[in-house]
Amino acid sequence: MLKGQDSRFDLVIFDWDGTLMDSLAQIVRSVKLAALDLGVPEPTDAAARDIIGLGLPEAMQVLFPQVPEAEREALRQRYAHHFVAGVGGHSQPYVGAEALLQQLSGAGRQLAVATGKSRAGLNRVLAHTGWSSYFHATRCADETASKPNPLMLKELLLELRVPLERAVMIGDTHYDLEMAQRLGMASIGVSYGVHSGERLAEHGPLAICQDMSELTAVLATV
């Protein structure tokens, strides 16, 4: 449910993994395979899920603090290899995601992406989905600061010339919502991705949606 008064947002900023794309299992699998390749202890599934949303260097530092930086670079390379290879199956958009993008775009909203993916990774999945035309701007963690630093949101607002109060951030992790909270931007959480609704609620989102249909309904009112 929405809290407070309805408002109109001209710019809707989406996280990617766990928000528009059901890629969580593929990310966890790729992290564990990278660890296996380098002979370092595999993180648990829960630990690997918890770093989703961070930039890859930051994620590897959290998961493998005992590993020297040179080896963490090798881990990042092996992770990227396995993710692109899609061992065990490639990611798929959540059901209803493209319909939501079409609806928002048709209503004249500007759309953007703020993601922990690399630029090469985002470009690859945008090409695969054919969704590039929906988004007016995108920011990736390897070309700006990683979440929860709000720099990528500041850059999107500046590029698109949208006032802070006219934008909303949508994401499935506390990194997404903390990033928005630090900037004073409105946010909407989705609990079908990485983090629970209880954890997302700590950052004061306007709403927490349990599925894509609920997110679609909420966005129709703001």
Q: Kindly report the length of the chain.
A: 222
Establish whether 50 is a catalytic residue.
no
| 222, 6 contact by CB (below 8 A) | yes
Residue 45 identity (one-letter amino acid):
D
DSSP code per residue over 93-135: EPTTHHHHHHHHHHTT-EEEEEESS-HHHHHHHHHHHT-GGG-
CA distances from 51 to 27, 31, 66, 86, 176 (A): 10, 10, 16, 19, 12
Catalytic residue among 6, 17, 45, 50: 17
User: What whole-number distance in Å separates Cα of residue 212 and Cα of residue 217?
Assistant: 9
Residue with tokens 């490639």: 90
Distance of CA 74 to the CA centre of its chain: 24
Catalytic residue among 6, 10, 15, 142: 15
Closest by CA to 188, choosing from 13, 8, 5, 10, is 13
**Residues annotated catalytic, as ranges:** 15, 17
